[in-house]
Amino acid sequence: MVSILVVEDDPEIRRALVKGLTERGHAVESFGTGLPALERMLAQAPDVLLLDLGLPDIDGLQLLAMVRAVSEVPVVVATAQDDDRAIVQALDAGADDYVVKPFGLDQVAARIRAILRRGGGHDRAAPLVVGDLQVDPRTRTAQLAGRPLELARKEFELLLALASRPNEVVTKRELLVEVWQQPYGGADRTIDVHLSWLRRKLGETAAQPRYLHTVRGVGVRLAAPADPADDGS
Ligand code: CA
């Protein structure tokens, strides 16, 4: 179970975050002010820190600097509006990612998953296995039936994002957030192009899918083929 520390002074947003992240299976603790949260972190580090930059008792960037002085914990910052400067400052100060309010819970959850894949935490070490497909987040390599797949960076990240949630339909929006770090705008075409490249490397087609199943208008599902012995060769 992934432990998440939420620091957010707006009680409504805080409640929504705690509820939404708990429902997604995370262990969530929350604080409305920064300094008690820092104290808590020092006593027991969470797997992820979700930090609102506008706090009543201390500047969020200052708090982030204090956290970074003592800890490598992955940090997602939340900013009140699309304030480029605040986002740049936060990333420079050691934040791993950010969300802009108002944000949806799905986006926050997707960013947390992406961060855990990239930066450590529980989910990272073990290779993911789906049928004859093996995806190793640590070495950033993938194999199909023992044969190494030559994947470009985004192709690998797309495959990893899908393999992290086998048999689940992952929406294109989620993929845009997790793989391209772009929650806005319709870049469906980007996903479609990468999917077709990935399909080719997996030796399948959209018309005759084996691992990659497009669910029209919704997203993509990665699943083991019914007959894993037929590896398409
Ligand atoms: Ca605030």
The structure tokens 């960037």 sit at 61
C-alpha to C-alpha distance for 18 and 6, rounded to whole angstroms: 8
Q: What would the pLDDT profile of 51-70 be if each residue is shown by its tens digit? A: 999 999 999 999 998 888 77
Q: What would the pLDDT profile of 10-30 be if each residue is shown by its tens digit? A: 999 999 999 999 999 999 999
Q: What would the pLDDT profile of 95-139 be if each residue is shown by its tens digit? A: 999 999 999 999 999 999 888 887 654 444 578 899 999 999 878
The mean of the pLDDT values for the chain is 88
| Domains of the chain from N-terminus onward | 3-123 (3.40.50.2300), 126-230 (1.10.10.10)
Instruction: Name every residue whose Cβ is closer than 8 Å to that of residue 217 and which is 6 or more positions away in sequence.
Output: none
For residue 212, the cross-strand partners are 222
Q: What would the pLDDT profile of 151-180 be if each residue is shown by its tens digit? A: 998 999 999 999 988 999 998 888 887 787
pLDDT, average across residues 133-148: 91
Q: What is the pLDDT of residue 119?
A: 65
Ligand 1 centroid distance, CA of 32 (Å): 9
Ligand 1 centroid distance, CA of 46 (Å): 21
Ligand 1 centroid distance, CA of 52 (Å): 6
Ligand 1 centroid distance, CA of 56 (Å): 7
Ligand 1 centroid distance, CA of 80 (Å): 7
Q: What is the pLDDT of residue 52?
A: 95
C-alpha to C-alpha distance for 160 and 156, rounded to whole angstroms: 6
Is residue 158 within 8 Å of 201, Cβ to Cβ?
no
Ligand 1 centroid distance, CA of 33 (Å): 9
Whether the predicted model's global pTM rises above the 0.85 cut: no
Is residue 217 within 8 Å of 201, Cβ to Cβ?
no
pLDDT, average across residues 20-47: 92
pLDDT, average across residues 63-88: 85
Percent of the chain with pLDDT over 70: 91
SS3 of residue 72 by DSSP: coil
Ligand 1 centroid distance, CA of 177 (Å): 23
Ligand 1 centroid distance, CA of 50 (Å): 12
Instruction: Name every residue whose Cβ is closer than 8 Å to that of residue 19 and which is 6 or more positions away in sequence.
Output: none
- Helices 172-180, 105-119: inter-axial angle, 10-degree rounding: 40
